[in-house]
């Protein structure tokens, strides 16, 4: 009998909390400095999971590789102007977004 481990369960929970949403609905998170851009080459669920377990080394590595950063003013404006939908997941106090 297969028993899933805690990591699999946690990743599945994060996956279920991930959804597509209009960027304009996330403006207050951007304004408060808690919207984090996740590069398209990263797995949003994996990034959220690493945030949730406080894996500072992995998060720092992604930041150093410019794969993770606070959403920039330019990104926010462009997404608002194009009425973009983004994938998002909350890992308090952050909201991770991926276009």
In the chain, domain spans: 6-98
Distance CA 81, CA 59 (A): 29
> 45-93, pLDDT tens digit by residue?
999 999 999 999 999 999 999 999 999 999 999 999 999 999 999 999 9
Residues 6+ apart with CB under 8 A from 24: 80, 83
Q: Taking 90 as the threshold, does the pLDDT of residue 15 lie above it?
A: no
Q: What percent of the chain has pLDDT over 70?
A: 91
Q: Work out the pLDDT band at 43, boundaries 50, 70, 90.
A: very high
pLDDT of residue 11: 76
Q: Which residue has the tokens 């899933």?
A: 4
Structure tokens at 68: 């993770």
Q: What percent of the chain has pLDDT over 90?
A: 82
pLDDT of residue 8: 65
Structure tokens at 72: 């920039």
pLDDT of residue 56: 97
């Amino acid at each position: 009998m297969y028993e899933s481990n805690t990591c699999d369960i946690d990743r599945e929970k994060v996956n279920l909390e991930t959804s597509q949403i209009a960027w304009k609905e996330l403006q207050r998170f951007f304004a408060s400095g808690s919207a984090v851009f996740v590069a398209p080459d990263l797995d949003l669920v994996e990034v959220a999971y690493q945030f949730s377990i406080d894996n500072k080394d992995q998060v720092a590595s992604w930041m150093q590789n410019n794969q993770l950063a606070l959403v920039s003013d330019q990104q926010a404006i462009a997404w608002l102007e194009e009425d973009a939908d983004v994938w998002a997941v909350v890992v308090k106090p952050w909201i991770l977004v991926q276009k």
